[in-house]
Structure 1
Amino acid sequence: MPGYKSSIAFGVIGLGRFGYALAKTLSDNGKEVLVLDNNESKVKQIQDKVQQAFVIDQLDKPTLEEAGIQNCGTVIVCIGEHIEASILTTLNVIELGVPRVIAKAISAEHGRVLQKIGAEVVYPERERAIRLANSLTTPRVLDYIDLSNQYSISEIRLTEKLHGKTIFELNFRKKFGLNIIAIVRGNETIIEITPDLQLTTNDWVAVVGTKDSIIKFERYLTS
């Protein structure tokens, strides 16, 4: 295994469904990606889609270093199902000096250990469940991204209730407690939100604000 010796944006360790989708999406978005996995067939499936892909038998520090994982700006450890391997691999990557290490966790306890050793933690299953619950309870919400325990970004489809109204007429920020960051109208995305901009039925409006404000706005549209 020759290893990748120059700097590279992202490293992905583990090619389960989450790791594969992550690596491919990063690469599709124009980012350089180094992928490591112990399954040769999985590596073959992705090797023509990413910058570098290596089969590694061990996840110890010397093997990771030989592969060049220390040259990545961000490494995502995607082997959450095997908790011991996840923790040890994450620790090895951190000790190799990678600036940013993100690790997939499958439980709160697993996540706490990963945080204690210095990793950022993601919970893919929990986040998918939260998005599904939000889509089921707020049917006009296309997407829902948590920024913190209090604030979120949502993309909401408007109703005829706001058709023809301008941002100024609505006094949008004061009335709803939300900031519009973009409007999707057909194939057009509007990012310059001027006071005289008129809203139309079925615009998708990306807003940022508190979760309570988003819920109240969605209820206002359907009341």
Structure 2
Amino acid sequence: MGRNDQTLVIGLGRFGRAIAETLGQLGHEVLGVDAAARTVQACSTSMTHVVQADATDADALRQLGAGDFPSAVVAIGSDIQASILVTYALVDLEIPRIWAKAITAEHGAILQRVGAHRVIFPERDMGVRMAHSMVGRTIDYIEIDENFVLIETTAPREAVGQTLEAAGLRKKYDVTVVCVKNPGGTFTYATPETVLQRGDLLVVAGSPERAETFAALD
């Protein structure tokens, strides 16, 4: 396993467990952590690495080697205090990428202040996506059908500083860059003359296999 394929998932309720199991199916090495012995036991049949621990305890996280993970997900649900404490501990361990689940706007704002790199609202986002789907304006849903997807990703290193035409991404990877967003900017339509910069966000269209391969580029 490459180091970038290792993820720490804390909180193994339905949301956290789904993340951990899906990452495992995608070939990532995942360490799942939960404070409840019953939850850990239930997950042991579907996850390779799962341990019972109080993740609000910074010493416990250090003993688990949490600081060695490049990515972490705080999937704790209703216990807002625990969610915040765990996120703070992971930030203190200088984990490069931390995703944290929030259940309210206030909770999300605190997680951002604490240092979470990305705050997600699963229940709210699913409601928004479902509402858009009901009126036929599903723009933010990645899967268009089983053979065509939109994936939001960052510009690959090999293309930074080049125009899309010069980079030849469509020819190399059989995907189409639909639009580009510069850091702090807004999404604009991509053209052959669009120059990709480090940190740009791309919306890429193609088959699931091709788009996922492109999104996995360094």
TM-score relative to the length of structure 1: 0.61
Residue identity over aligned pairs, in percent, reads 35
Mean CA deviation greater in 94-103 or 130-139: 130-139
- 1:26 matched to 2:23? The reply is yes
- The residue that corresponds to 1:122 in the other structure is 120
Between the aligned partners of 1:181 and 1:15, the Cα distance in structure 2 is 32
Mean CA deviation greater in 38-47 or 110-119: 38-47
| Counterpart among 44, 47, 52 of residue 44 in structure 2 | 47
Q: CA deviation at 1:29?
A: 0.8
Larger radius of gyration: 1
CA 1:69–1:8: 2 relative to 1, 3 Å: farther
What amino acid is aligned across from residue 144 of structure 2 in structure 1?
E
Counterpart of 1:33 in 2: which secondary structure? strand
Tell me, yes or no, if the aligned pair for 2:11 and 2:76 is still in contact at 8 Å: yes
- The residue that corresponds to 1:215 in the other structure is none
What amino acid is aligned across from residue 108 of structure 1 in structure 2?
A
Once the two structures are superposed, residues 158-197 of structure 1 have per-residue CA deviations (whole angstroms, 9 ceiling, x without a partner) of xxxxxxxxxxxxxxx9xxx79982369xxxx898xxxxxx
Tell me, yes or no, if the aligned pair for 1:77 and 1:102 is still in contact at 8 Å: yes
Counterpart of 2:70 in 1: which secondary structure? strand
CA RMSD of aligned residues (A): 3.0
Between the aligned partners of 1:7 and 1:62, the Cα distance in structure 2 is 24
What amino acid is aligned across from residue 129 of structure 1 in structure 2?
G
- The residue that corresponds to 1:14 in the other structure is 11
Between the aligned partners of 2:207 and 2:104, the Cα distance in structure 1 is 36
Between the aligned partners of 1:70 and 1:47, the Cα distance in structure 2 is 23
Structure 2 unaligned blocks of 5 or more: 147-177, 179-188, 191-202, 212-218
Between the aligned partners of 1:117 and 1:47, the Cα distance in structure 2 is 31
CA 1:89–1:13: 2 relative to 1, 3 Å: same
What amino acid is aligned across from residue 133 of structure 1 in structure 2?
A
Structure 1 unaligned blocks of 5 or more: 1-5, 146-152, 158-172, 192-223
| Counterpart among 55, 61, 65 of residue 62 in structure 2 | 65
Tell me, yes or no, if the aligned pair for 1:144 and 1:155 is still in contact at 8 Å: no
Q: CA deviation at 1:67?
A: 1.4
Between the aligned partners of 2:36 and 2:29, the Cα distance in structure 1 is 21
Once the two structures are superposed, residues 56-99 of structure 1 have per-residue CA deviations (whole angstroms, 9 ceiling, x without a partner) of 14521001111121111110001131111110110001101211
- The residue that corresponds to 1:88 in the other structure is 85
Counterpart of 1:101 in 2: which secondary structure? strand
What amino acid is aligned across from residue 90 of structure 2 in structure 1?
V
TM-score relative to the length of structure 2: 0.62
Between the aligned partners of 1:154 and 1:7, the Cα distance in structure 2 is 25
Between the aligned partners of 2:207 and 2:66, the Cα distance in structure 1 is 40
Between the aligned partners of 2:13 and 2:55, the Cα distance in structure 1 is 17
Q: CA deviation at 1:131?
A: 1.2
| Counterpart among 110, 113, 118 of residue 113 in structure 1 | 110
Between the aligned partners of 2:22 and 2:207, the Cα distance in structure 1 is 24
| Counterpart among 32, 35, 38 of residue 35 in structure 1 | 32
How many pairs are equivalent?
A: 155
- The residue that corresponds to 1:169 in the other structure is none
- The residue that corresponds to 2:152 in the other structure is none
